Structure formats: C-alpha cells, structure tokens
Amino acid sequence: MKNRAAIAGPIILCVLAVAVWLAVRARSRSQADADRIILLVPDDASFSDPGVTVWLDAASEEGLHVVPVRDSSYLRPLTDERICAGVILPDSIHVRASDLLVSAIHEYVASGGHLMLVYDAATKSSQGFYSSDRSRLSDLAGVDYAFYKALGAGMIQSGEVSGAIPVMDELGVPPGKYFPFEKTSGSKGDEPQAQLRRYQFGELDYPSFVTSGNYDGKVLLRSGAGIAAGYRAYGKGSVLFVNLPVAFLAENTDGLPLHAFLKYFAEHVLALPHLLAVPDAVGGIVLDWHVDSNAAIRSLQAVTTWPIMRQGPYSIDVTAGPDAHEAGDGQGFDVLHNPVSRRLVLQLLDRGNEIGSHGGWIHDYFSAHVDTDPPEQMEKYLALNKAALEEVTGRPVVEYSAPSGNQPEWVTHWLEAHGFVAYYFTGDTGMGPTVGYRDSHRAGQDIWAFPIVHLDRAASFEEMARESVPLPVVEQWLDLLTSFVVAHRQVRLAYFHPPGILPYRRVVNDWLKRTGKLRSQGQFRWYTMAQIAKFLNSRRKVNWRWTERDGLARLEASDPTSLSHFAWKIPAERYGEPGLTRGSAEIVKASDGWIVVAGEGNQLEVQAKVTGR
C-alpha cells in the first residue's frame, strides 16, 4: 500500500501540473488570439501551397488574422489549437478528410463554434472516396449535397448565381458586379434579386453542388443547382455554407467570392475587428484615365475646363509614343515632340494627378503583340514609354494600365522589377486592390492589381454608350458606387478614355457635385493607384493584435515608423466604446461600428468592454 501511495502521489501531482499548464496555456491563447480564425490544412499539404496562401493573402488584405493549422494539430489531445473565433474548412485543398476530423468539426460547432464550410471540403474520405450517398457534413450545411452515387459528375452543375440586393451589399459586392440594381417582376419574395455579372460577357456561371432539402437558415445566394450560400444555426454554434469553389476561383483571377465570404464570416458571423485598407478610414475611388493617342488631345482640352478638374487626384495613364496603331502612322500622343501633349501632361501633373504608363509606346501594336511576340522584343516599348514620361514629368512612373486590358504575366514581372507599384486589371473584377493570383500562383510581391468595377458588361463610358445603357442607369450606378465605397470604407477603380466621357458631361458634373459634398464632409476621397499601393505596402508593416480577458478587449498596435493614418473598425454589436490607453488616436462612433484612426507615434493601445456574444 505504501508503494502504491508513493507512486500515486507523483502521478496526481503530474496530472495536476499538466491541468494547470493547460489552463494557463488555454487562457494565454484566448487572450492572445481572440480574433484568430483557423484555416484547417491537411497534414500532407504545405503551408506554401497556393490553396493555403490564397486564403492567407486574402485575410491580410481584409485586415484579418487567419492562421493555418494542420488537421493533426487540431485533433491532438491536450491541445489548445481549437481555441479560436472560427474555423474555415476550405475547398480544393481539403477535399479529403478523416471520419475523426468530421466528428471533431461536428463537436466543435455543436458546442458553440462557428464554421465556414466551403464547397467540396471533406466530401471524400481520407482514402479519396465519396464515402456515402451524400456529404458527411450535409447536416451542418443544412442541405444534402455531393450526391456522387446518385448523380456522378452531374452532382456539380454550373449556372448563374443570384441573391437579394441587400445581401450583395453585405457581401461587399459593388453595384454593377450585380445587376439589375432594382427589384424586377421575377424577384422571389419581397427583396429585390440580382445576378452576379461578368465584364464584357454578362453571364457568369459558377459551379456548385446540387442541393436537396428545405434550408432553415438565411439564404445568401442561389443557383440553378440550389443553395449557393447560406448561414444557419447548428447546436450552440453556426455554419456559413459556401457552395462555390472560392479558392479555386481566386487562384484564377476571380478573387471576389473568396474575399466576400471571408469578410462576411469575420464581420457578420464572428463580429471581429479588422484593419481597414484605406487611409484614415475614408473610402474612395481611383478614377483612371487612359490616354491612347492624339485623338485624346481635344477631349483632354475640353475636360480640363470641367468641374472634374477641381477635384482629384486621378490616375492618368498615357501611351507616350508618336504612333498609335502601327509604327510610322504619326497618330500617337507623342509627349516628347508635341508641345500641346507635353503641356497637357504638365498641366495635369501640376494639379496633383499621377501620370502613369499606358502600355508600350504604340498603343494598338503593343496590345496586339504583347502576348504573342517574345517578351525580350516587347520590353523595349515598355521602357520607351516609361522613359519618355519620366523625361517630361521629372518624376518616376510607378503605375500602369494595359492597353485593351491585355497584360500577360511577364509584363507584371517587368513592371515590378522596374519600380512600378500598381496596375489596372480586368481580372478579379469588382474587388479592391489585391496582389492577385494567376494560374494558381501569386502575381507579384509588392505590386498591386487594381481590378476594375463595371456596370453589367460595360466599364468605361464609351462601352456604356456601345451597350446603349440609358443615362439614368449610368447616373444611378455612379451614385450607388460612391455610396458603396463610402459605406464600406474601401477603394474601387473606375476607368475611361477622355473621348468617351464627352457625351456624359451632365452625368459627370452631377456626380462630381455629390462627391464634392462628401469630400467636404470628410467621407470620400479620390485616390491614385500609386497612393493606395504605397499605403498598402506600408500597412504590411503594422503589427497588431486583439486580445480579450475578463470582459475587456484590447487592441495593441505598433509600426516601425508611424501608425498615422492606419485605422481599425471595431463592431459596436459586440464591444462598447473604446478608450485610448496609449499613443494617439481619434475614436468615433459610426453606423458600422467604432472607428479608431491612429495618430502620430508608433505605439497604440485601445481598450473596450466586451458587451455582446
């Protein structure tokens, strides 16, 4: 008995010590990672796999903390890896999952956790087979799906995706990317419905699993296959079911769905704070002017007398050579030899605008040959254009727009290697600035793509004219787009060619009255691509954390140089009025939460009571 007692004593002490250690570790984790979102990653996948990094990059751009965690770490006994704000089970990279992981996810949600379940995640067993007549996570999703035995390849169907207009706004989809703007006679229910649309083509088909059953949650999007996205309660927790391959789409120049649902999960499901992607929390528009040839001279001379020139700054990108269509035609803007062109460029520069490069020297020729001729033959046109503009302006050229939107990957690499920080982009439409992915790999490191916004199939004014878009619809779109960037505190890029804007003088002048009023109230700004790209590169250096302890939340932030102009949004539904405890900041109550705008200094600390869920 004495020997047993002698053995039992140390064992009990060890167990108690482990329990205390786990409690302390768990408490430490809960303090340090109150806003941590776990991205579950299979054990055999690398954290550098594009299927992982596309989520991490999106989280960084949205100002969120997403952390990859391997399945084995998540499942390991006596671990604190499950302590988090929410869990993402991603598409594409996590098609396979063990029964043990599926069971653990059920347990997590039932006990109060929040899950973002995406498309084909866990539809196959760890051996790579569809293990039943439906997904093992169908009960979590709220509908049956992945009917491989019954439908085979037909279990996935492609079709148009639609949703209520208020939901489109909640998802952060800008007007024009969804269309129409108003309720139509065919709308379901009381809320106006709209379709996601594609630039130039209109119809936008997305694959989704055929779903079956009555959905008992909030339907976000529908397709011909059934529920394309929805949010519902499960046990004490909740599930955001996204029946779209968002990571796959993001890896192939359609990042809006991934960003939209990641932001929705963080903001509307988890009520997390996030670091905003605009200076001083002020949303705005990049208005990108494309000057192709000498055909723009008369229109530029006219536009410089409009009220538009009393606002700005704008991004004005120029094809600088003497030719426009082919070598020797003499129809180029010719900034080096045409005194009128040179004077216009300097006049626009003096008004605070950013002068950038529009393609390479000969607009149409470069566009037609840039993706067919050897890069070493085409690089000279990029270099000539950049050098000519720098000679005239006396400033580095750091932003770019591709003629006809034609930008093969080698151009992006050339631009980044030659000091460019931003470019307009006809992929990822509807999004804000992004590093972007092309063919499943990151397009750049410190150069930012600025995707265009569009009104259904048209983006520029001249395209709207060709599409016969009624003037009232154009007016409404400009008004709604402005309201969107103000309300969401984000940036979007719209573009035009100077000749194309002339028939829209009244529309533009009325639009500028609205933006001018918002500017004077500090609610709206015009930005250039270069301004925002430099801000976003600086934003990467901001180190911040969100902790919670004993009913008190704390934001701690630092920057090697200064935190000035960086801003956070803190959900008012969950947190009380923040108070400044270190550094300098302006804290204001807005309709969408508490806004904390940092002042001078490189340290900031703000505290707030946890009042909600």
Query: In this structure, what CATH number is given to the domain that contains residue 64?
Result: 3.40.50.880
| pLDDT band, very low/low/confident/very high, at 33 (cuts 50, 70, 90) | confident
pLDDT digits (tens, 9 = 90+) for 203-219: 999 999 999 999 999 99
**Looking at the predicted structure, is the pLDDT value of residue 596 above 50?**
yes
Side chain identity, residue 221:
L
| pLDDT band, very low/low/confident/very high, at 13 (cuts 50, 70, 90) | very low
Domain end position, chosen among 536, 558, 580: 536
Residues 530 and 574 in one domain: no
Q: What is the pLDDT of residue 20?
A: 41
pLDDT digits (tens, 9 = 90+) for 522-547: 999 999 999 999 999 999 999 999 99
Tokens representing 307? 């009220």
**What secondary structure letter does DSSP report for 356?**
E
Residues 370 and 269 in one domain: no
pLDDT digits (tens, 9 = 90+) for 408-425: 999 999 999 999 999 999
Residues 49 and 23 in one domain: no
Residues 460 and 410 in one domain: yes
Residues 217 and 349 in one domain: no
Domain that holds residue 603: 541-609
Domain end position, chosen among 218, 253, 275: 275
Higher pLDDT, 9 or 229: 229
Domain end position, chosen among 536, 565, 591: 536
Total domain count, the chain: 4
Task: Give the separation between CA 307 and CA 362, rounded to whole angstroms.
Answer: 31
User: The domain that contains 578 carries what CATH number?
Assistant: 2.60.420.10
Residues 199 and 146 in one domain: yes
Residues 54 and 80 in one domain: yes
**Looking at the predicted structure, is the pLDDT value of residue 21 above 60?**
no
| Sign of the alpha-carbon dihedral angle for 148, 150, 151, 156 | negative
pLDDT digits (tens, 9 = 90+) for 273-294: 999 999 999 999 999 999 999 9
Q: What is the pLDDT of residue 78?
A: 63
Burial 185-198 (b: 16+ CB within 10 A, else e): eebeeeebbbbbbb
**What secondary structure letter does DSSP report for 276?**
-
Q: What is the pLDDT of residue 22?
A: 42
Lowest mean pLDDT among 16-30, 305-319, 379-393: 16-30
Task: Give the separation between CA 590 and CA 575, rounded to whole angstroms.
Answer: 13
Q: What is the pLDDT of residue 124?
A: 96
Q: What is the pLDDT of residue 80?
A: 67
Comparing C-alpha atoms, which of 150, 172, 159, 180 is closest to residue 228? 159
Residues 305 and 243 in one domain: no
Residues 519 and 551 in one domain: no
Kindly state the percentage of the chain with pLDDT values over 70: 92
Burial 234-264 (b: 16+ CB within 10 A, else e): beebbbbbbbbbbbbbbbebbbbbbbbbbbb
Residues 528 and 562 in one domain: no
Residues linked to residue 603 through DSSP beta bridges, in sequence order: 558
Residues 585 and 522 in one domain: no
| pLDDT band, very low/low/confident/very high, at 77 (cuts 50, 70, 90) | confident
Residues 489 and 412 in one domain: yes
| pLDDT band, very low/low/confident/very high, at 26 (cuts 50, 70, 90) | very low
| pLDDT band, very low/low/confident/very high, at 156 (cuts 50, 70, 90) | very high
The structure's pTM equals 0.93
For residue 588, what are the CA distances in angstroms to 58, 274, 519, 596?
Answer: 27, 15, 18, 7
pLDDT digits (tens, 9 = 90+) for 160-193: 999 999 999 999 999 999 999 875 444 455 677 8
Instruction: Please identify which residue in the block is written with the tokens 């167990």.
Output: 15
| pLDDT band, very low/low/confident/very high, at 17 (cuts 50, 70, 90) | very low
